[in-house]
Structure 1
Amino acid sequence: MKPTIAPFPAARPRRVRQTPAIRALVRENTLTPDDLIWPVFVRDGVNIEEPVPSMPGVMRRSVDLIAKAAKEAWELGVPAICLFPYTDPSLKTEDCAEAWNPDNLCNRAIRAIKEAAPEMAVMTDVALDPYNINGHDGFVENGEIVNDRTVEALVKMTLAQAEAGADIIGPSDMMDGRIKAMRDALEAEGHQKVMILSYSAKYASSYYGPFRDAVGASGALTGDKKTYQMDPGNSDEAMRLIQRDLNEGADMVMIKPGQPYLDICRRAKDMFGVPTFAYQVSGEYAMIQAAAQNGWIDGEKIMLESLLCFKRAGCDGVLTYFAPAVARLLND
């Protein structure tokens, strides 16, 4: 689009900014609860709600309280929830078998949410790090994160989640070829309606620290994830990976982290025109909360502005820990 504007004073752009009513009429992007996916952390036990110290306001909840929280979020207008397990260290192994246990934390939580809020969309995470004694998203052999054996395990994990009732599978592992393998398996096992929201452009970012605390992966991780997650300096590569995942059967794509990578969101939406999401990750959330608690920023205003920026950059929705708080504000 080439802007056309008359010379001053015929054109006075401030005319369309003079009142709240006029600003609302010409606003190009808006934020609603429909744009939100709420990431939550599930832990073992009953009636347990414990804070995550590095993420003020975020809790690990037992399955019963996850179901209750999901119902409350649904009633606020949040359409989807995404599950991340805080796995007991005793269940973390070299073979990661707990990842596809039909009765693991994540699968029990899917069923509980579907009972409490049947219409809410339930998204899951597909990666081995919550179950891996090494803290990596894939199997580690002789110090290397191996690809093809990991993909086989991820397929088993995907099918277990689909059978538990997941609506959206979220592969966050960044292994090569996993989308085709998952899509083929879902089709073969009669799960044609299950969607794949692929973390197609997931960067090897330092913004994930608080999340790893929340799922108990920080202490287990050996080395880094740079051989499978993306280099933060790359943009064209992200487009190639998104195209690959779409060709393999992804329904939607994700960029992670979020706000520091809005250029990737914009490029992805312009280039592919598919449902595009971003994850406002733990580090982004923690920085906003910390600054707000110190009185350096207006937390509510920054929260809303940050999410509106995702919409402006082309995102159809955002995974954000702020989801219930945002929905309450927007409803008011």
Structure 2
Amino acid sequence: MGDDIFCINRRKFIGNSLVAASGITVVSTGMLAAGTASAQTPAAAASAGCGPVKLPAVIGYPNNNGVLVERVTYPARNMGTTIVANVFKPAGFDEGKKYPAIVVTHPFSGVKEQTAGLYAQHLAERGFITLAYDASYQGESGGEPRLMEVPAQRLDDISCAIDYLSQQPEVDPARIGSLGVCAGGGYAMCNAQTELRVKAVATVSMFNLGDARRRAMGQLSYEDRMKRLRDAGEQRSNEARGGPVRLVPVVPESPAEFTANTPDLYRQGYEYYVTPRAKHPNSPNRYVFSSLPLQMAFFPYDQIETISPRPILMIVGREGRYKILER
């Protein structure tokens, strides 16, 4: 891979979640391997509306368990744009009841129809109302230029999802949890440090995006880091002058790009995001290169003590063996 490919993606995890808090039950759900993706035409967020969900709601996992899936939109408050999300409601949903709810945050470069939707579906099957959304600048949600990865906005996207859920009469605002997958786990953990409406937070294969961008999993020297920052700054200046936006790959485009030094993390990212297993037209395996400095400035653990005494569940896996760390 070239210098421009800075992969962050989810570890291969056939495992399980999530969340415990005051009245929120810890559950364990088996992830199923995703199958062939169906083509889906991206819609402009400005014209997106509430109503029936665009199918498939989850790539490769048919909804055969009576879960109700609804497409919704709500404001990205700080941007003046629109977030597009899928809300999953349990089978036998009762409008007169109050349900615990979970916001599910997708990985870097992912969309709601991939792993975030899969977790949302499984958790809804177990009695939660869940919400899987496209991050700002990505998927069907608003924001320009497309495919930006802006950690500060990613954090507020979670709060915007809580804004939406807290207005729904069927949601118990005292039982809202947050789940993030891969880089989404870093965002969920960081957001919970100051977002006290989150009553419990859980992560699956959490990835520290800031550290990954600064050190490239220990493979990036300080001098190379500074060069990348200079290059990104020059590219941003070029875009400000009207030049084209530069997009770079997130994970390898094919096994031909693998080398002996390619980490399993990169290989597994290709297997999930670039093959029919979970490939989606709204997730083109690209991000805006000039957003790299914003990613390097992300330090997700600086106030982690402020989550206490709320529960944390971190699910990690390596070579098929999984260890649950609770705090």
Same fold (TM over 0.5): no
TM-score (norm 1): 0.37
TM-score by length of 2: 0.37
Greater RCO (CA < 8 Å, at least 6 residues apart): 2
Larger-Rg structure: 1
